[in-house]
Structure 1
Amino acid sequence: MLRRPLLVSGRPGTGKSSLAYRISRELRLGRVLRWHITSRTTLQRGLYEYDAIGRVQDTAALRAAVGDTASDGEASTTPPDVGDYIQLGPLGTALLPHREPRVLLIDELDKSDLDLANDLLSVFEEGSYTIPELRRARRRHPLVRVMTDDPDGEAEISTGIVNCRAFPVVVMTSNSEREFPAAFLRRCLLLHMPDPGESDLAAMMAAHFGADMAEQWGGPLIAQFLERSRGLGGLAIDQLLNAVHLATSRDGEGEDGDLRSLVEAVWHRLDGTAPGARQG
């Protein structure tokens, strides 16, 4: 209703990305569009990509196959449809005029270039974007079908402009590796995912391995996990699940010391410090 993105922060492994899938599942909004961010990610990459080189190469191959001196020479030199070389990205697909809003997950936004956050706000506020390659060809091709980020998906774009109908549910995640500008934060809805407690971890274990396994292994491992997590500056939840998987796959064989050594192997630090290293 507010047409504002949700910025979810918290430590790795606290379920930030899973929130987008939970929203989509509960509201029945279909496949989640996921856009994973890196330091080289640009806004245009999220909106669309145009394979100009591929189109030029295919045009040259078509001319060579047909021959420039053919009787229908005009048709022989006509380049392939521009829409065959445009692929919408996750953001561009989310802003199509869908009847129901799509869920867009922008994962690890804090790894992006400094300008990407502000560029995103401009697109979100407008709820639209332009594809210049289609805009220039609008007189000859007012309606063009392009590929979308959905598997085998296609969409029809009129005069090179995309306007969303139902504003997407945008979930952006951040591991708090850097701060965002105040202007950006002011235009977002903020949610911090707290570290899960003992009951939360027990419920996760039951969901993954069943109630019986969680009851058998959950108590000791969860207590040990929480203690180690405080000492190592925070462990990820999947490290606990990995330990449970190792414990439950042993069918009761081996000694407790073997289990402890396995736990030590998967419960390593997440800050790059070598196991056993002392902190100065």
Structure 2
Amino acid sequence: MPEQWEIYRASRLPHDGITRLPEPPPWRRFSGKPPLPPPEPMTDDADIARATTYRPRSRTVQQVNAALYLRRPLLVTGPPGTGKTSLAYAVSYELSLGPVLRWSVSSQTTLRDGLYTYDPLGRLRAAGDQAGQDPDRAEEIGRFLRLGPLGTALLPCDVPRVLLIDELDKSNLDMPNDLLSIFEEGCYEIPELVRASTRKAEVLDASGSRRVPIVDGRVSCRSFPLVIMTSNGEREFPPAFLRRCISVDLGQPTKEELAEIVAAHLPDMVTRSDDIIQRFLTRRSSGELATDQLLNAIYLTNVTGAEDRAALAADMMPYLSPGFPDDPEY
């Protein structure tokens, strides 16, 4: 093993380290076709800012690399505001894996929502406008299909895409087991294309800007995506699901870590933030708070020049959990 085995190093600088990733273990090898070119670089300013201001712990870095080596999904838990979603952007930016494919789930979300969407009414209208054409031709059906974030992540790229499945604990009871099957097989079928009469279709990916070829209605990955699933710890997941994940628990940042986070986001204000950080820590010891509340408080107290900084900061840091009274000091 090389001296520096980590592919993701939390350097916050893009590099080609993904090319050093060794072959997967035999039970996690995939060979989807036809191979697709790598995605375009991440260009959204807000996404890049989120990626470059994130400060992971060393253990988190190690667990990300374990997921990359083993081709296993990451299940990231922690209180609100601890950087669960930012982790996905940080890894994707540093390893030049393109824009993050983000899938936010709810109790109404189904597996198919993440794989693809299909517009049958649009196809019927088009078939009516084009009399004499076979409405079941795959090249025609492909016009009315669009891959979702999960479906796009499983396309046969030579480099892994980063898929963020946000707030998995809000999903329906069947979702973890449905995902487990997809993650184990690394592939899925689109029944509308399987039933079609021709072999190949061009379908929009999740970005809506690129059409990708799908052969025989089946999508199989080549490089298993880095799947980052976030959870607020509001439910338990099945043991079979958990044992196939790399688990990451992001605890609350320490005082020193909070100072680093402030320096990353608000470098010009870090020297004037000690009192607000201490107020945040004091309040956090009595109830749930999120780190972005601290950033809001520091920014506002500095740009407004408020005389009563402590009172304004407290107003920006209400408890997130019910049942906690207002701070009597204010």
| Same fold? TM cut 0.5 | yes
Mapped pair 1:227 → 2:227: no
Change (3 A) 1:131 1:276: same
Q: TM-score, normalised by structure 1?
A: 0.87
Q: Which residue of 2 aligns with 1:271?
A: 321
Q: Which runs of structure 2 are paired with 1:131-210 in the superposition (5 Å)? A: 131-137=190-196, 140-210=197-267
Mapped partners of 1:57, 1:277: distance in 2: 61
Q: Which residue of 1 aligns with 2:45?
A: none
> 1:242-273, CA deviations, whole angstroms, 9 ceiling, x for partnerless residues?
101111211x3x422xx333223221111234
Q: Which residue of 2 aligns with 1:42?
A: 110
Q: Secondary structure at the match of 1:228?
A: helix
* Counterpart code for 2:280: F
Q: 55, 71, 92: which one pairs with 2:151?
A: 92
Instruction: Identify the structure with bigger relative contact order (alpha carbons < 8 Å, sequence gap 6+).
Output: 1
Contact residue 155 and residue 219 of structure 2 kept, 8 A? yes
Q: Which residue of 2 aligns with 1:246?
A: 300
Contact residue 276 and residue 310 of structure 2 kept, 8 A? no
Q: Which residue of 2 aligns with 1:31?
A: 99
* Counterpart code for 2:262: M
Mapped partners of 2:324, 2:275: distance in 1: 25
> 1:61-112, CA deviations, whole angstroms, 9 ceiling, x for partnerless residues?
x15xxxxxxxxx6249888811111010000000000111100011100000
Structure 2 residue runs of 5 or longer lacking an equivalent are 1-68
Mapped partners of 2:90, 2:269: distance in 1: 24
Q: TM-score, normalised by structure 2?
A: 0.74
Q: Secondary structure at the match of 1:81?
A: helix
Change (3 A) 1:3 1:76: closer
Contact residue 59 and residue 78 of structure 1 kept, 8 A? no
**Number of corresponding residues:** 259
Contact residue 100 and residue 163 of structure 2 kept, 8 A? yes
Change (3 A) 1:249 1:277: closer
* Counterpart code for 1:213: M
Q: Which residue of 2 aligns with 1:56?
A: 124
Mapped partners of 2:233, 2:134: distance in 1: 55
Contact residue 29 and residue 103 of structure 1 kept, 8 A? yes
Using the TM superposition, give the Cα deviation of residue 48 of structure 1 relative to its aligned residue in structure 2, in angstroms.
0.6
Taking only the aligned residue pairs, the percentage that are identical comes to 50
* Counterpart code for 1:74: G
